[in-house]
């Protein structure tokens, strides 16, 4: 279980998250949607403390943090939280001087102190899972964007995190390459991977996420099961935002 309560976050005196509540059950996939600047990526980054809230609380499993403006979490606490989460960034952020396999191994070797053979076996297992085992010895620069994002997913999965955080995982890709990444995320969802994703791609949210949270101006406007939010939104603001998806809803929803 992951729970955020009354999360406030400020940048330069401007409140970008306003008393946000979020609950994510184990094995569930939740999508954060909203216009640019709505706070969805900031909220996602608060889960693994890439951004430190000024108020509220974060609970992951048996660990709970309470945030105040006067005291920041210790470095040890931050690292403990980050080890329970895996992060997939919009622009991949692979190490260019390491091969594909080495990118996946790096955290296991330097952070978790695994021996090299164990880390290599785990990397090869995950590269097989995301469909690019044949690229293990390649350099990131030689891969397509879709392949690089699949490496990034494998790297995030390497330490077996409790939740996978995805920040706009397809927005840097053209539709064909995005489809490769969507298939990997669908597979992970079907296997019960707990995921929280911030995305502009409403089709991705409707296809993969069980629940959707619509944010605007740092406030949760509406949340609930994906089908309800997309097909029967309760708020006019939500209805306007999701209207672009009505022509391409998942087939099962319209049967």
Same domain, 181 and 241: yes
- pLDDT value at position 198? 95
In this structure, what CATH number is given to the domain that contains residue 224? 3.40.50.300
Mean pLDDT of all residues belonging to the chain:
91
Supply the pLDDT for residue 253.
53
Question: Is the same domain home to 80 and 199?
Answer: yes
Q: Is residue 222 part of a domain?
A: yes
What's the pLDDT score for residue 252?
A: 47
What is the average pLDDT across 65-93? Answer: 90
Instruction: Write the pLDDT tens digit of every residue in 199-226.
Output: 988 888 988 999 999 999 999 999 999 9
Alpha-helix runs per DSSP H in 73-225: 75-83, 100-110, 116-129, 145-157, 175-190, 202-208
171: pLDDT strictly greater than 90: no
Residue in the structure block whose two tokens are 């097909």? 231
CA 8 to each of CA 44, 54, 126, 165: distance values in angstroms, whole numbers, following the listed order: 13, 6, 36, 19
In degrees and rounded to multiples of 5, residue 221 shows phi and psi of -80, -40
For residue range 100-138, list pLDDT tens digits in order.
999 999 999 999 999 999 999 999 999 999 999 999 999
Q: Are residues 29 and 133 in the same domain?
A: no
- For residue 149, being part of any structural domain is answered with yes
Instruction: Flag whether pLDDT at 95 surpasses 90.
Output: yes
169 and 237 co-located in one domain: yes
Q: Please give the pLDDT value at position 249.
A: 57
Q: Is residue 8 a part of any domain in this protein?
A: no
- Greater pLDDT, 204 or 140: 140
**Predicted pLDDT at 61:** 86
227-238 pLDDT, tens per residue? Answer: 999 999 999 999
* Phi-psi map region of 19: left, alpha, beta (phi>0 left; psi -120 to 50 alpha): left
4 lies in some domain: no
Which residue segment(s) compose the domain that 238 sits in? 24-50+67-84+163-255
Mean pLDDT, residues 77-100: 92
Contact 105, 157 (CB under 8 A): no
79 in a structural domain: yes
Q: State the average pLDDT over residues 8-13.
A: 92
The answer to whether the pTM exceeds 0.85 is: yes
Same domain, 120 and 181: no
| Domain end marker among 108, 142, 160 | 160
Same domain? For 232 and 254 the reply is yes
- With respect to residue 57, please indicate whether it lies within any of the assigned structural domains: no
pLDDT at position 51, please?
A: 95
Indicate the number of domains in the chain.
2
Asked whether residue 131 is domain-assigned, the answer is: yes
pLDDT band at residue 188 under the 50/70/90 scheme? very high
Mean pLDDT of 77-98: 91
């Amino acid at each position: 279980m992951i729970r955020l309560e009354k999360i406030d976050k400020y940048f330069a005196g401007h409140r970008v998250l306003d008393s946000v509540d979020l609950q994510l059950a184990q094995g569930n996939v939740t999508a954060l949607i909203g216009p640019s600047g709505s706070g969805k990526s900031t909220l996602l980054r608060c889960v693994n403390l890439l951004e430190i809230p000024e108020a509220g609380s974060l609970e992951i499993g048996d660990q709970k943090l309470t945030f105040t403006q006067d005291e920041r979490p210790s470095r040890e606490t931050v690292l403990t939280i980050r080890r329970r989460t895996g992060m997939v960034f919009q622009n991949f952020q692979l190490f260019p001087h390491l091969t594909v396999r080495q990118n996946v191994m790096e955290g296991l070797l330097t952070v978790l102190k695994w021996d090299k053979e164990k880390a290599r076996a785990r990397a090869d297992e995950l590269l097989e899972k995301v469909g690019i085992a044949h690229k293990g010895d390649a350099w990131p620069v030689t891969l397509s964007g879709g392949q690089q994002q699949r490496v990034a997913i494998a790297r995030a999965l390497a330490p077996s995190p409790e939740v996978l955080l995805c920040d706009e995982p397809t927005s840097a890709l053209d539709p064909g390459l995005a489809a490769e990444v969507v298939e990997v995320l669908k597979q992970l969802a079907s296997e019960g991977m707990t995921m929280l994703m911030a995305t502009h791609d409403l089709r991705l949210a409707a296809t993969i996420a069980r629940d959707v949270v619509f944010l605007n101006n740092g406030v949760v406007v509406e949340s609930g099961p994906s089908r309800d939010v997309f097909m029967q939104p309760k708020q006019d603001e939500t209805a306007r935002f999701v209207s672009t998806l009505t022509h391409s809803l998942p087939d099962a929803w319209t049967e």
